[in-house]
Amino acid sequence: MTDNRLTDFKVILEKAKQWLAQDPDAQTKTLLADFIQRAEQGDDTAKAWLEQQFSARLQFGTAGLRGPLLPGPMGMNRVLVAQTAAGLARYLLSQKDSPSVVIGYDGRKNSDVFARDSAEIMAGAGIKTYFLPRLLPTPVLAYAVRYFDTSAGVMVTASHNPPEDNGYKVYLGDGNLGAQIVSPADKEIAQYIDAVSAEQSIEHLPRSQDYEILDDTVVKQYVEKTASLGNHAGSLKYVYTAMHGVGYETLLAVLDKANLPRPIAVKEQCEPDGRFPTVSFPNPEEKGALDLAIALAQEENAEFILANDPDADRLAVAIADENGQWQTLHGNTIGALLGWYLVDKNQYNQKDNTIACSLVSSPALKAIATRYGLNFEETLTGFKWIGRVPNLVYGYEEALGYLVDPDKIKDKDGISAAVVILDLLLKLKQEGKTLLDYKNDFEKEFGAYASGQVSIRFDDVERIPALMKALRDNPPKQFDTFRVVELIDHQNTDKKSNILVFYLEDDSRIIVRPSGTEPKVKFYIDAKTAQASQAQEKIQLFTQSLQKIISDYQ
């Protein structure tokens, strides 16, 4: 009788050896060779690790690829990146006779290596290839796609993921206008990648050094266009952190061009460092990420804090409340305030202009659209959808992503958002007001909106669909004391997405969806009341109720 487990592992072991034979990276090659040797000697831990790394591939889809820097098809490494670049090249050649691509990278470990591998493979496939001059923010790459009118753009970044991760973000030009990939392109690209990996070793992929390393022209154009968003002058005392990422240099260039005040920098975090030594999780939303910035703000008696994530496509804002306690404003709060400021300032043509947010973002933006007579669109999660909204003048998502100048790029931009925030704060200062005053004014005008989130991280990703199925099969009838009056399952709507929306009798709502970039299920809570304190109390009640409900379902 055949032992299927033994047969299956022999297949895994053969895959691992084939991968090892083509791996050009000394570090991942040594690591993989060690696991293979240990597995052949009967080490069960090594066998389990090989099975985990070689039983599947990182899924090419939302934001391209993201994963840990490990060997094998479930890790980010030079073999996987080469296969991806070759697959993307085949896709581009299938779409156009003479395609082109621009490639950028951030400061994470191996970002530059992955970017150069991609450039050589793209050029080797006969694609006109541009290469950004140095590590730069994701928004600069997104702008370069439109500036050069390329068929595609590649940004090597894992954004705000943990330090051990990296990623591969793809934009499409031509009819896609430089937005991130969506279906069916993502599935078609994935098929080409699979074909490359099945057909040949990456050693046989043609490579070429015939790609163009760009000068600073495109960076200067990005800086000039972004600087034009600032109209007010004056002094501000504020703290800034780049979260060990690539935002600081470009931000300073924009501020100087716009004659906006420079920040007090968190020196430990403003130079690119892929180790992220001062934060356990380089995401401004995470608890503790802004500790150094807050300490500096207190020491300097600063008015507020601005923070980019490591690739500078997101922006966090922190202020001191009436009691002097520093708080990071929720992405929905900043999204609504920016939207109100831009709509009121620009007095957009009411017929032809649209403001938009993802469906997991606050209903506050819809209230602004209604008040000003603008079109409003609620999209699926992610800027790959928001950036594609026709006649868009402003868009945001609650995860600290804001698009304040969609004529320039079709993705979130933490540097452009910083300029508009500074412009707003300078205007407020001229009026003798603060951002906290502006927030209070918004609540008087539109009501008090509050948001919260509960995230459940899974070591075993197979448990995620099980939880979503349980919520569908036996949905909660109430949260805290408030009854569910409507449940929308977006698998059954035109959005065709794995999202559940619970509407409660008090007009609050709770949204559930798996994360597209991390092994999490996220629960979004939105409440509206007359006063901010009441809204926050509701968020706390719903959070406690959710935690109990989740525990019961697990």
Q: Per the CATH hierarchy, to which homologous superfamily does domain 56-213 belong?
A: Alpha-D-Glucose-1,6-Bisphosphate, subunit A, domain 3 (3.40.120.10)
Torsion 540-545-546-551 (CA) sign: positive
| 304-308 and 500-504 strand pairing | unpaired
Q: Residue 383 in contact with residue 412, Cβ under 8 Å?
A: yes
| 128-131 and 212-213 strand pairing | parallel
- For residue 2, the model assigns a pLDDT of 42
Fill in the amino acid letter for 219: V
Residues with a catalytic annotation lie at: 159
Residue with tokens 């992503």: 401
SS3 152: strand
Beta bridge partners of 68: 165
Domain coordinates of the chain in residue numbers? Answer: 56-213, 220-446, 448-553
Please give the average per-residue pLDDT across 149-154, as a whole number: 98
- CA distances for 356 relative to 223, 347, 353, 391, 507, angstroms: 25, 16, 10, 10, 20
CATH class of the 448-553 domain in this structure: alpha beta
**pLDDT, tens digit, for every residue of 57-80?**
998 876 689 999 999 999 999 999
Backbone angles phi, psi at 289, to 5 degrees: -65, -30
Q: Residue 104 in contact with residue 139, Cβ under 8 Å?
A: no
User: Which uninterrupted H or E stretch holds 486?
Assistant: strand 482-489
**pLDDT, tens digit, for every residue of 338-395?**
999 999 998 877 778 999 999 999 999 999 999 999 999 999 988 999 999 999 999 9
Q: What distance in Å separates the CA atoms of residue 147 and residue 190, rounded to the nearest whole number? A: 27
Name the residue among 423, 392, 397 with its Cα closest to residue 313.
Answer: 397
Q: What distance in Å separates the CA atoms of residue 483 and residue 505, rounded to the nearest whole number? A: 6
- For residue 6, the model assigns a pLDDT of 52
Q: What distance in Å separates the CA atoms of residue 393 and residue 403, rounded to the nearest whole number? A: 8
| 392-397 and 375-379 strand pairing | unpaired
- CA distances for 299 relative to 14, 270, 296, 306, 311, angstroms: 59, 18, 5, 16, 27
**pLDDT, tens digit, for every residue of 474-508?**
999 999 889 999 999 999 998 889 999 999 998 89
Q: Residue 308 in contact with residue 243, Cβ under 8 Å?
A: yes
pLDDT at 4 over 70: no
* CB within 8 Å of 48: residues ≥ 6 apart: none
- 220-446 and 56-213 share a CATH fold: yes
**pLDDT, tens digit, for every residue of 404-448?**
999 999 999 999 999 999 999 999 999 999 999 999 999 999 999
Torsion 487-371-407-310 (CA) sign: negative
Residue positions counted in the chain: 554
Question: What's the mean pLDDT when you consider all of the chain?
Answer: 93
Name the residue among 87, 88, 84 with its Cα closest to residue 75.
Answer: 84
Q: What distance in Å separates the CA atoms of residue 269 and residue 31, rounded to the nearest whole number? A: 30
**pLDDT, tens digit, for every residue of 112-148?**
999 999 999 999 999 999 999 999 999 999 999 999 9
Q: What is the DSSP letter of 266?
A: -
Backbone angles phi, psi at 158, to 5 degrees: -115, 20
Q: For the chain, how many helices (H) and strands (E)?
A: 17, 22
**pLDDT, tens digit, for every residue of 188-239?**
999 999 999 999 899 999 999 999 999 999 999 999 999 999 989 899 999 9
- For residue 484, the model assigns a pLDDT of 94
Q: Burial of 59 by CB count in 10 Å (0-12 exposed, 13-18 middle, 19+ buried)? A: middle
Helix ranges (H only) for 302-434 are 331-346, 364-372, 383-386, 414-430
pLDDT at 531 over 90: no
Please give the radius of gyration of the chain, using alpha carbons only, rounded to the nearest integer.
Answer: 24
Ramachandran area for residue 178 (φ above 0: left; ψ -120 to 50: alpha; else beta):
left
CATH class of the 220-446 domain in this structure: alpha beta
- For residue 3, the model assigns a pLDDT of 46
**pLDDT, tens digit, for every residue of 453-467?**
888 888 877 788 889
**pLDDT, tens digit, for every residue of 16-61?**
999 999 999 999 999 999 999 999 999 999 999 999 999 999 988 7
pLDDT at 270 over 60: yes
Ramachandran area for residue 438 (φ above 0: left; ψ -120 to 50: alpha; else beta):
alpha
Measured between its terminal Cα atoms, the distance across the chain in Å is 38
